[in-house]
Amino acid sequence: MYSIILQAHHWIAFIALALLAYATINGAMGSNSEKAFDDSHRKINLFALISTHTMLLLGIVLLIISPIAQNAFADMGAAMKDGAVRKAVVEHPFVNILAAVFATIGNAKSKKAIGNGRKFKVSMIFFGLALILILSRLPFEKLF
């Protein structure tokens, strides 16, 4: 069960990164043009948001059932002294929760913003922040 959820989290993370990058680029291109922020742009943001939240939920499940996390929670003092364990149990989850919050804010604010340029700019900023945060805590040593 653990390995299935880990693999799902791994592959959905790639999908989330791609969609966040697409939403960020879409926002950047739209903010510099006179395009209308229509339903297709809203759906790009929504799919980026859904994939980010799915990745987050799978990550929370992993944090609960992971043997690494269970050992770390048993002795948090020792876990905080080990950089790899600290990254897996504290930094990675915390930063990804922040990324999901930024994606949620970006989706909500882009719907409520007045003016097409403003909607694109809000999307670019918040989805870009989410993308940067996820990339900053991505466990590159475990990618392949």
| Phi/psi at 104 (5° precision) | -65, -45
What's the confidence (pLDDT) of residue 37?
87
pLDDT level of residue 132 (50, 70, 90 thresholds)? very high
Contact 10, 89 (CB under 8 A): no
Tens of pLDDT, residue by residue over 42-53, are 999 999 999 999
What's the confidence (pLDDT) of residue 143?
66
pLDDT level of residue 31 (50, 70, 90 thresholds)? confident
Tokens of 83: 């950089």
What's the confidence (pLDDT) of residue 35?
85
Q: Which residues contact 72 (CB under 8 A, 6 or more apart)?
A: 79, 85, 88, 89
H or E element in which residue 87 lies = none
Whether 123 shows a pLDDT value over 90: the answer reads yes
pTM of the model: 0.90
Tens of pLDDT, residue by residue over 51-76, are 999 999 999 999 999 998 888 889 88
Contact 2, 65 (CB under 8 A): yes
| Separation of alpha carbons 35 and 21, rounded Å | 19
